[in-house]
Amino acid sequence: MKKSLMIVASLALTTAFTVNAAETGGGCGLGAMVMDGKSGKGPQIAAAILNNLVIPNTFFMTTGGGLMGCDPTHTVQREEAKKIFVASNMDKLTIDAAKGQGDHLEALAYLIGVENQDLAAFEKLSQSRFDSVFDADQPEQILAALDHAMLSDSALGKYVN
């Protein structure tokens, strides 16, 4: 019973963030496609729930632009995805950054929008600036420190909003 309540509560919370951050109704993903053309709060909420129930729409934001209507260039969604990613993967991300390589660091680079030709520079910067970037406890602070470090790099400054 407690487990079911926790699942429903977490689904409701993720849906609330989806509805608030979305620019077009229920956001993007499978639910948005199914409910496309329908108006009102009911279809938008149903789309947001379906987006997170079947395949979370953050999956489509992080797997490439244009999939199921999710565009990783939407700043609000992209910023939120970066914060969630850093918060959810803090331990593994710090290990990867300290090493200067790894799947979690590469995934963060993708969320930031770093192109393949600049990935090595991003990994090197993350390692060389590890102490100043990963000194904070909050995802927002880490991302701000990373932005600051990237601005000082000629190849990576273009990725900072």
The whole-number average pLDDT for the span 46-67 is: 57
The pLDDT, as a whole number, for residue 161 is 76
**Rounded CA separation 137/145 (Å):** 12
Of the two residues 21 and 140, the one the predictor is more confident about is: 140
The pLDDT, as a whole number, for residue 96 is 96
Packed helices 90-99 and 75-88: angle between N→C axes, nearest 10 degrees: 90
Task: Map out the domains of the chain as residue ranges.
Answer: 2-62, 75-159
Q: In this structure, are residues 28 and 50 in contact, taking their beta carbons and an 8 Å threshold?
A: no
Packed helices 119-128 and 103-112: angle between N→C axes, nearest 10 degrees: 110
The whole-number average pLDDT for the span 9-26 is: 48
Q: 86: which residues sit within 8 A by CB, 6+ positions away?
A: 93, 108, 139, 142, 143
Q: Which of 105, 113, 128 is nearest to 159 (CA)?
A: 113
User: How many Cβ atoms from other residues are within 10 Å of residue 3's Cβ?
Assistant: 7
pLDDT 10s digits, 95-108: 999 999 999 999 99
Of the two residues 78 and 5, the one the predictor is more confident about is: 78
Q: Which of 17-21, 62-66, 144-148 has the highest mean pLDDT?
A: 144-148
pLDDT 10s digits, 38-50: 666 666 666 666 6
On the CB side of 152, CA atoms within 13 Å amount to 10
**Would the pTM of this model clear 0.95, i.e. be above it?**
no
